[in-house]
Structure 1
Amino acid sequence: MRIENQEQAEYWGRSASGAKWLTLEEQLDAALGPVADLVLNRAALTHGERVLDVGCGTGATTLMAARAVGPFGHVLAADIGEQLAARARDRIAAAGLLNAEIRLCDAQIEEFEPHGREAIISRFGMMFFSDPVAAFSNLAEALAPGGRMVFAAWGPLEGNPWFRIPFIAATTRLGRPPKTDRNAPGPLAFHDINRVLGLMEAAGLSEAEATTEEVSLTPVGSTADAAALLTRVGPAVRVIDHFGGGAEDARAIEADVESAITPFEEAGGVTVPATINLYSWRKPA
C-alpha cells in the first residue's frame, strides 16, 4: 500500500490517541450523528448507487450509506488508519451487509476505478490530506459524469464549543502550546470556506458550493459524561500531552469543561451547538 500522508497514517493507524476512536466509538457516533445525517441528506443517495466514503473511521457513515443504496448499490469505504479500518470491516460484517467493503489506503493517491462512483461522501475525513489539491483531483477522477461529492468539515473555532471549551479549560490549567497553522492538516483545517473553495477550484472542481450549517451535537448521557468525552479526545488531550499533564490535571480540566457546558443541558441530556461547513460539487455530465 502506497502512503503519502505518513503522519496521519501513524496517528490514526497505530497511536493511542487514534485508538480512542475505538474505545469511544459509541459515544462519538451518537455525538456526531447529526453531522452524518447532514452529509447523507445532502448527498441524497438512491438505491443502486455506487458510493465512496472517504475517511470512514470506524464505519458509522459507511453503514448508513450501504443501507441507503440497498443490495444493488455498493459502498467502498476508505481510511488511512489501520485500526479504524479493521474496526469498520468488523462492523460491516456484523451488520451482514454484503454491499460494502473497507479499503485501507491513502485516498489522496489511491488509484480508484475511474468514473466508478456516483457519489463521494465524507464526515470529517477530508481535512487531513497533506495535499488537498492533489486529493480533490484524485477523488474527482473516481466520480462518474454527473456524480456528486458532499463532505462536512468543522467551521471556525469560535462557533464550535466542542473544541473551544476544552481548549480554554486545558490552556488555563497548563498554559498555551506553541501556535500552529490552523490551515495545516487537522480537525479545523477546512474552517475557512473561501480557502477550501479555492483549493477545490485549483483541483479542477469548478463551481463547488459551500454552506454553513448550525447543528446540535448529541453526546449520550449526563453533562458529566459529555465533559469526560470532551476531555478524552480533541484539543484538551493535545494540550495535556504537550505539557505532560497528569491525572490530576485531567480531572481538573474535566471539571472545568463540565461547568462550561452546563448551559447546554436539556431535559434529555446535553446538546452542544456546532458550526459545520458543508461542501458540495457536481461533476459535469
Structure 2
Amino acid sequence: MTGTNADQAEYWGRSPGGQKWITLEDQLDAAMAPVLDLVIARAELQPGQRVLDIGCGTGASVLAAARAVGPEGHVLAADISDLLLSRARERTAGLTNVAFVNADAQVHPFTPDDRDAVISRFGVMFFDDPTAAFANMARALKPGGTMTFAAWGALDRNPWFTIPHVAAMDRLGRPPRTDRNAPGPLAFHDTDRVLGLFRDAGLAAEVDVVDLRLTLPGDADAAAGLVMQVGPAVRTIAHFNGTPEDADAIRAVIRAQFAEMGSADPLLLPARINLYRARRP
C-alpha cells in the first residue's frame, strides 16, 4: 500500500510488529477484554444494526460486535493490515453477518449513509490526519449514527506503558523523544485536543475518562513477559541494541513492580482509557 498511512500498513502488515499481535493473540485479547467490553457497552449496539469496526486487528472486536447485532445485523471490519485481517477471517469463519476490507479508513470510500455505528478498540490513534479520518468515517454513518472509540489516556495513569518504559530507560538510557500527539498508541491522550479534531471534522463529540483494570493472564512474571514483547521496552531495547542480559534485568524490574500490584491470576493492572463518542448530524 502506498499513500497517506503507508507506514502504518508496513508496520502492521509486513513487519514483526503485526505478527506479534497474532502470536500473542490470546494474552492480548484477555488483557484488553475490559476495554472491548467498555466499547461494546457504550456503543449500545442493537440487534439488526449495521456496524463498521475500525482497526479490527485479529478479530476479537468483530466477534463481539457480531454477537451484539445478531444474524439480522452486519459488521464490516476494516484494518490496514492484510496480515491481521487474514487471522480475523479465520476466527470468524462460519459467521454470515461479517465482512472484511483491507482499508486505510482515513481515505477508503466506504458506502455512504450505510452504518448505524462505528466502533474501535485502540484502532484510531494511528492516522496521519485524524480530522480527515473522522470525517471520512462519519460519511459511512446514517444520519444520527454514532462513533464509539477507545484510546489510551494519560501516560502516567497507564502502567502498561510507564513501568516497562522507565525500567528500560533506567537500564539503557533515554531514547530520542517523540511527539506524543504523533500517530501512535498515545496520540489521543489529550482529550481537549481530540475533541477539537472531532469539531474540525464537523462532529459533536464527548469523552468519558474511564479508570479500569486490564486483566493480564498469569502472575506478575507472565505479565512481565508479555510487556517485554510489545510496547516501549521493546523499542528502547532495540534502539540501544540491548543484550539478553539487559532484557533479563529489565524484565526483573517489571516483574517486581507488577508483583507489588498483587498476586492474583490474572494480574489486574490499572489503566486509564479515553472513551470518545460522537454522533453524525
Look up the match of 1:77.
Answer: 77
Q: TM-score, normalised by structure 2?
A: 0.98
Paired amino acid for 1:39:
V
1:148-187, aligned counterparts within 5 Å? 148-187=146-185
Paired amino acid for 2:271:
A
Give, in whole Å, the separation in 1 of the partners of 2:223 and 2:205.
35
SS at structure 1 position matched to 2:216: coil
Check the 8 A contact 1:3/1:106 in 2, yes or no. no
Look up the match of 1:257.
Answer: 254
Look up the match of 1:135.
Answer: 133
Paired amino acid for 2:74:
H
Give, in whole Å, the separation in 2 of the partners of 1:246 and 1:38.
39
Give, in whole Å, the separation in 1 of the partners of 2:85 and 2:266.
31
SS at structure 1 position matched to 2:224: helix
Look up the match of 1:222.
Answer: 219
**By how many angstroms is 1:80 displaced?**
0.5
Look up the match of 1:55.
Answer: 55
Give, in whole Å, the separation in 1 of the partners of 2:18 and 2:172.
23
Q: Report the identity percentage.
A: 59
Check the 8 A contact 2:219/2:263 in 1, yes or no. no
Verify: 1:195 aligned to 2:200, yes or no: no
Look up the match of 1:274.
Answer: 271
**By how many angstroms is 1:269 displaced?**
3.2
For structure 2, list consecutive stretches of 5 or more residues without a partner in the other structure. Answer: none
Q: Report how many residues are paired.
A: 281
Paired amino acid for 1:74:
H
Q: TM-score, normalised by structure 1?
A: 0.96
Give, in whole Å, the separation in 1 of the partners of 2:118 and 2:263.
35
Task: Provide the alpha-carbon RMSD of the alignment.
Answer: 1.0
Check the 8 A contact 2:219/2:264 in 1, yes or no. no
For structure 1, list consecutive stretches of 5 or more residues without a partner in the other structure. Answer: none
**By how many angstroms is 1:263 displaced?**
2.1
Look up the match of 2:17.
Answer: 17
Paired amino acid for 2:57:
G
**By how many angstroms is 1:126 displaced?**
0.5
